[in-house]
Amino acid sequence: MDFARADALNQAIRLLSLRHRARAAELLAPLGLHPGQEALLLELARTGPMIQAELSEALGVERPSVTLMVRKLEAAGHLRRSPAPDDQRATVVELTGKGEALAERVKELWCALAEETVAGLPDETVADLPALLGVLTNNVDTKRPRRRENAQRGRR
């Protein structure tokens, strides 16, 4: 790929990421949330109670960041923490009734943000976007071995 094409692609992805996060922050602010906290609430709404370390892994966020988010959301009454029954060193995090209600409001905002983001695109393109973006994400995932590195190892 030549530089002009690479630059256009990388700039488009960078700008989308920045603007999407900024728009999400605008929508979340009236709820008293910051970007990232909505993902934590939505993950717990999807899965139910989770050990905090598993929550960190599910969100792809460092443990100290999750600890800070959990503390803030717990202080606001949206989450409850308790020791894990089988491991007193682990902490289980779950939504409170107030947190469940907030997660429902976040779902509404998330739908609105998604609709705003894909406005003007054909339905077929919108349907293909999650898989396409998933491939792009996997291609740059620093936690996965690189295909090129794997190919080179196979040649040795």
Q: Give me the number of domains the chain comprises.
A: 2
Using an 8 Å Cβ cutoff, are 117 and 133 in contact?
A: no
- What is the domain extent for residue 134? 122-156
Question: Within this chain, do residues 31 and 98 fall inside the same structural domain, yes or no?
Answer: yes
Question: Within this chain, do residues 45 and 110 fall inside the same structural domain, yes or no?
Answer: yes
Q: What is the pLDDT of residue 144?
A: 60
**Residue 61, domain CATH:** 1.10.10.10
Question: Within this chain, do residues 34 and 98 fall inside the same structural domain, yes or no?
Answer: yes
Residue 30: name the closest of 93, 118, 112, 97 by CA. Answer: 112
Question: Within this chain, do residues 95 and 79 fall inside the same structural domain, yes or no?
Answer: yes
Low-confidence ranges of the chain (pLDDT < 50): 148, 150-156
Q: What is the pLDDT of residue 151?
A: 46
Q: What is the pLDDT of residue 152?
A: 47
Q: What is the pLDDT of residue 86?
A: 85
DSSP the chain: --HHHHHHHHHHHHHHHHHHHHHHHHHHGGGT--TTHHHHHHHHHHH-SEEHHHHHHHHT--HHHHHHHHHHHHHTTSEEEEEETTEEEEEEEEE-HHHHHHHHHHHHHHHHHHHHHTTTS-HHHHHHHHHHHHHHHHHH-TTSPPHHHHHHHHH-
Q: What is the pLDDT of residue 150?
A: 47
Question: Within this chain, do residues 135 and 97 fall inside the same structural domain, yes or no?
Answer: no
Question: Within this chain, do residues 109 and 147 fall inside the same structural domain, yes or no?
Answer: no
Q: What is the pLDDT of residue 14?
A: 96
Q: What is the pLDDT of residue 38?
A: 96
Using an 8 Å Cβ cutoff, are 91 and 83 in contact?
A: yes
Question: Within this chain, do residues 57 and 74 fall inside the same structural domain, yes or no?
Answer: yes
Using an 8 Å Cβ cutoff, are 118 and 107 in contact?
A: no
